[in-house]
Amino acid sequence: MRVLGIDPGLTRCGMGVVEGSIGRPLGLVDVGVVRTSAGIPVPERLVTIERGVDAWLDEHTPDAVAIERIFARSDVSTIMGTAQAAGIAMVCAARRGLPVALHTPSEVKAAVSGNGRADKAQVGAMVTRILRLDAMPKPADAADALALAITHIWRGGSQSRIEAALAASRTTPARTTSARTSVRTPVRRGGAR
């Protein structure tokens, strides 16, 4: 399985492609960031991110896209830019019919380091180790994107199977335990009229 991990951001949008499967060594395909300048209007920055994501999707043809799930932070302007970049990434993947998974930061940290509260340095060190890299990917947005891809390979496949099984159980007709059916006649209260 080949997964494009995206750590969304308006200034730096981390991009990382990992290939592999559960129980086998994972391999780095590519890593980098799509950058935009704070000096240009937000709509133009989003177009730059869209073009960057589209280019990565075209070049690497992933099987799935894993994006960091946005959570509330104290700085509303950061949340807005991150959410806008994440939305652009989802649209780019959806246009191609690719499955999109959202993973929380704590889920990613726990998957790659065993600690849901790991700091960026710990996550970067574990990404370096898991992918057998000579150096930690920089900036941290790039390492985070790889961590998202790793998490999806390790956890996303099982989550997809669980969701498929649940969906199938909802569409399977319920079996009846008795061949007899009964019809109840409603009882009127307060006398006959």
Query: Exposure string (b/e) for 31-66, b if CB count within 10 Å is 16 or more?
Result: bbbbbbeeeeeeeebbebbbebbbebbeebebebbb
User: What domains, with CATH codes, occur in the chain?
Assistant: 2-171 (3.30.420.10)
Active site residues: 7, 68, 141
Q: Is 141 annotated as a binding residue?
A: yes
Which pLDDT belongs to residue 182? Answer: 46
pLDDT in tens, the chain (193 residues): 999 999 999 999 999 999 999 989 999 999 999 999 999 999 999 999 999 999 999 999 999 999 999 877 667 777 899 999 999 999 999 999 999 999 999 999 999 999 999 999 999 999 999 999 999 999 999 999 999 999 999 997 666 666 666 677 887 655 444 444 445 555 555 554 4
Maximal C-alpha separation, the chain? 89
Which pLDDT belongs to residue 67? Answer: 98
Which pLDDT belongs to residue 178? Answer: 46
Burial of 139 by CB count in 10 Å (0-12 exposed, 13-18 middle, 19+ buried)?
Answer: middle
